[in-house]
């Protein structure tokens, strides 16, 4: 890596990653604040987190997962 342009390119890539990492930290803090606000308003935060996760999953995959959980739960006498 004696080429200056290669070293510059590498430095720019590292700086971008560092900048994005800082942004991610800020966003994580914002998300924590939103959950804290939800808790302060009386919402169940674990249920809210689960809803956020479920909304991120495609409906068909969610339905498949729910069917499997229902089948397993029935076999275990949970339902």
What does the pLDDT read at residue 2?
A: 63
Q: Residue 11 has what DSSP assignment?
A: H
pLDDT of residue 3: 80
Tokens 């994005």 belong to 20
Average pLDDT over residues 44-49: 98
The whole-number pLDDT of residue 25 equals 97
Q: What is the pTM of this model?
A: 0.71
> φ and ψ at 3, to 5 degrees?
-70, 125
With a cut of 70, say whether residue 38 has pLDDT above it. yes
Model confidence pLDDT, tens digit, residues 2-25: 688 999 999 999 999 999 999 999
Domain range list for the chain: 1-42, 44-79
């Amino acid at each position: 890596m004696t080429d200056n342009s290669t070293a510059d390119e590498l430095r720019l890539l590292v700086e971008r990653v560092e900048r994005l990492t800082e942004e991610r930290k800020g966003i994580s803090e914002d998300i924590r604040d939103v959950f804290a606000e939800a808790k302060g308003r009386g919402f169940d935060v674990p249920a809210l987190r689960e809803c956020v996760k479920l909304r991120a999953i495609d409906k068909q995959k969610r339905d498949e997962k729910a069917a499997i959980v229902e089948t397993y739960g029935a076999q275990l006498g949970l339902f």
